[in-house]
Copies of this chain bind each other. A is one copy, B any other.
Amino acid sequence: MNCTKCKTKAVIGLPRHNAAFCKSCFNGFVHDQVARAIKSEKMFGKEDRILVAVSGGKDSLALWDILLTLGYRADALYVNLGIGTYSVQSHAKVTKFAEAVATSHGATLHLQTVEQEAGAGIKELAQLIHRPTCSTCGTIKRYQFNRVAIKQQYDVMATGHNLDDEAARLLGNVLHWQEEYLDKQGPSLPASVEGFAKKVKPLYRLTERELAAYCVLNKIDYIVEECPMAKGARTLLYKEVLNRLETESPGTKQTFYWGFLDKQARTAPPTTSMTEKDQAALHPCAACGQPTTAEICSYCKLMARAKSSAAL
């Protein structure tokens, strides 16, 4: 198998693009896809200050690496959720990457530890509010991430969601026809009201497998294990099913997700409608001041329940 571009020996085949690449051309392909995502979705410019949410996994570290390589002003935030060995190891991977790569680009790593004030771990918190662990974790991370972005005046927050993540999420939403969530599936969500930062997903054109390959080829050391809390999560099932379809028909994931974005762009420009909808519904949380559609935001509710439960 030779590289489609330069004809030297290929190190990876990409069935969905009917192509194969050597290391150098593969890096070029990955950088191009991210540059294309940033440009076509008007994510940010060279002057913008970007805050990357890093977890220690392949996607977010690859994202940080790619943005720095492309010359963007990208700092990062790691939120330590105290999930035993998993958090210890992922924390270490992030610090290692920051020291080895990010610092030389003049980039900063912010660290945030969620204090288990009420003594309740993420699993117990999820049980208290009767929601899946992953969605509780999502609430906490989104909250912390937004808070730091606003406080430190970043122009935009970037997450490492890849094509597999977005296609799996879309499949789940489509299977249940959750139109409200379908509206919010774009890779670029504008800053909606004072206090809510703009959010972008520059990796939505790249698959999980491609990002793993990028890390391995570029010696980016990441945490390989899935989060132990994710075991049995719906998303993993949807990914498995999409991989089955992808094997039979390479390109299924991108046709599915990109086709959805095209359709959305044709029917209703998501940017405008999102902003209007959000501006109408959002206002500051009575407890912490961050934007919410309820009186008290879900993070503050969660923490209040945790405290009252611990007091019993």
Interface residues of A (CB under 8 A from B): 174-177, 179, 234, 237, 240-241, 244-245, 248-249, 252, 255-256, 259-260, 262-263
Q: Are B248 and A237 in contact (CB under 8 A)?
A: yes
Given contacts A237-B248, A241-B241, A244-B241, contact A255 B179 (CB under 8 A): no
Interchain CA distance A264-B174 in the complex, whole Å: 13
Q: Are B245 and A176 in contact (CB under 8 A)?
A: no
Interchain CA distance A197-B160 in the complex, whole Å: 52
In the assembled complex, the CB of A112 is this many whole angstroms from the nearest CB of chain B, namely: 34
Give the copy number: 2
Q: Are B263 and A177 in contact (CB under 8 A)?
A: yes
Set of chain B residues within 8 Å of A262, measured between Cβ atoms: 177
Interchain CA distance A237-B243 in the complex, whole Å: 12
Set of chain B residues within 8 Å of A248, measured between Cβ atoms: 237
Query: Residue of B at shortest CB range from A240?
Result: B244
In the assembled complex, the CB of A131 is this many whole angstroms from the nearest CB of chain B, namely: 17
Q: Are A179 and B263 in contact (CB under 8 A)?
A: yes
Set of chain B residues within 8 Å of A259, measured between Cβ atoms: 176-177
Q: Are B237 and A241 in contact (CB under 8 A)?
A: no
In the assembled complex, the CB of A159 is this many whole angstroms from the nearest CB of chain B, namely: 24
Q: Are A252 and B175 in contact (CB under 8 A)?
A: yes
Set of chain B residues within 8 Å of A176, measured between Cβ atoms: 255-256, 259
Set of chain B residues within 8 Å of A255, measured between Cβ atoms: 175-177
Among B234, B245, B256, which residue has its beta carbon within 8 angstroms of that of A241?
Answer: B245
Q: List 18 A-B contacts (CB under 8 A).
A: A175-B245, A175-B255, A175-B256, A176-B255, A176-B256, A177-B256, A177-B259, A177-B260, A177-B262, A177-B263, A179-B263, A234-B249, A237-B244, A237-B245, A237-B248, A240-B244, A241-B244, A241-B245
